[in-house]
Structure 1
Amino acid sequence: MILFKAFKHEDIFEDKFGSSLADLFKFYQDVKKCKDKISGSEEIFYLGFREFIRLRKSNSNSPEFIMQSTKRSMRIVLSKRINELSTDLGFLATIASISPYIGLFGTVYGIMNTFISLGGGTNHASLTMMAPGIAEALVATGIGLFTAIPAMMAYNYFSTQVSKLENSYSIFLEEFYSILYRLVMLAQEQ
């Protein structure tokens, strides 16, 4: 659900941003009004532009410093958002990786019980005697796989979605950085 909202929010922001390039200062003021509800590229824009404005006022003679600091602040936001989006992925990866081993442990335990029950003084083993223990072992294996396979599929799906969002945020960051760089260079020429 969080990823779905993030993709939807990203699409809406891209449309707004694209139509607001003529007046970034006005767009910044509009975003500032709802700054508690922003995320993703919108947050990268807001915090990056806020840093850009602040540094331009105090360091107008140092465009490189302005741009480096602005980019650093945008990268920090990007990293925080990606960390938030991928928080639960480790849990899925853990389930996917340990479930087969838990199933294997159950398999070994079931087979051991079968052999222990056969060692109780019986001279011959029959399928009837071995079937319950082997059935337990197979059920344990099945449960392990039944848990691991969907968890691995979910992990792969969600990690791919997080990577797509990270790529989208990074592309926006670079495009916005280029716009800000042009603004700084134009100010230097004047």
Structure 2
Amino acid sequence: MSLAMPAVGAMGAVTANAAISPLHLFLQADIVVKGVMIGLLLASIWTWAMIIGFSFTLRKASKQSSAFEGDFWKAEDIDRFYEARGKAEFPAAKVMAAGVSEWRRSTAQKVIDRDGTRDRLHTAMNSTIASEVDRLSDRLNILATIGSVAPFVGLFGTVWGIMRAFTAIAAEQQSSLAVVAPGIAEALFATAIGLFAAIPAVIAYNRFSHGINRLETRLSRFADGFYSTLSRELEAQR
């Protein structure tokens, strides 16, 4: 007898672990809760794919813009630097390209309107900065949506699972733990998946928003410096 008892206990532990495993909870859930779980899992996969992809995109844009600015301020000839590197497809280069293009159009006239040229230069570079920020942050609203909606979707699965638990109580006419536990476990599992999708989305959204704001500030400083350079050059025009 003393040798058999541990084996029975071990089998009970294995059975209990199998009963509360995520796969078992998913398989024993009804179609509504399964739909909630699948939707939240897909949202979680989408979130992590966006986090990985956007991390590389933002890091690359920041690194390229930083290197470009450093080389730009070391350049002795702006026109030569623009012809060599001004047509690259990253934010700082596009800001410079906008300024140079507007400068060339405005100073090509016989009579130069200095005040108008300054206004157009400022507008052209600021518009480019806004366009680049919008382009980079285009899909961040998806992370914000997942972060705000996923907990409520999980809560819907929770409510539905608890409703099933109470329905089982009414059908069995008893309130034992064995009757109500499956529905409650499914409900809590749906909530857990909702949080699993929402928490990384919220954290990533906040971090990426901060990164984009830093990049925007850097581009604005670069545009201000370039604007000052062009403004001094404009004063020298006769």
- Residue in 1 that maps onto 2:83: 29
Instruction: State which of 61, 65, 69 in structure 2 corresponds to 1:14.
Output: 69
One-letter amino acid of the structure 2 residue matched with residue 63 of structure 1: R
Task: Name the residue aligned to 1:109.
Answer: 160
Partner of 1:44: 95
Give yes or no for the alignment of 1:74 onto 2:129. no
CA distance in 2, matches of 1:121, 1:43: 70
Kindly indicate whether the alpha-carbon contact (under 8 Å) linking 1:31 and 1:46 is maintained by their aligned counterparts in 2: no
Q: Is the 8 A contact 2:58 2:212 kept in 1?
A: yes
AA aligned to 2:120 is: S
Q: Which residue of 2 aligns with 1:148?
A: 198
1:61 alignment partner, SS class: coil
One-letter amino acid matched to 2:235: M
TM-score normalised by L of structure 1: 0.91
Greater radius of gyration (CA):
2
Instruction: Measure, in 2, the Cα distance between the counterparts of 1:63 and 1:149.
Output: 52
User: CA separation in 1, counterparts of 2:66 and 2:117?
Assistant: 29
1:159 to 182, 196, 209: 209
Deviations 1:66-85, CA, capped at 9 Å, x for gaps: 11111111122111111110
Q: Which deviates further from its counterpart, 83-92 or 178-187?
A: 178-187
Q: State the distance in 1 between where 2:182 and 2:110 align.
A: 79
Shift of 1:23: 1.8
Structure 1 gaps of 5+ residues are none
Structure 1's consecutive aligned runs of 4 or more residues displaced over 4 angstroms after TM superposition are none
Q: CA RMSD in A?
A: 1.4
Gaps of 5+ in 2: 1-55
For 1:180 and 1:39, how far apart are their aligned partners in 2?
21
**Structure 1 residue 143: Cα displacement:** 0.6
Alignment: residue pair count: 183
Residue identity (%):
37
Residue type at the aligned position of 1:85: L
**Inter-partner Cα distance in structure 2 for 1:29 and 1:138:** 61
Structure 1 residues 117-141: Cα deviation after superposition (integer angstroms, max 9, x where no partner) = 111251x311111111110111011
**Pairwise CA distance, 1:164:** 1.0
TM-score (norm: length of structure 2): 0.73
Query: How far 1:97 sits from its partner (Å)?
Result: 0.5
- The answer on whether the counterparts of 1:86 and 1:162 sit within 8 Å (CA) in structure 2 is yes
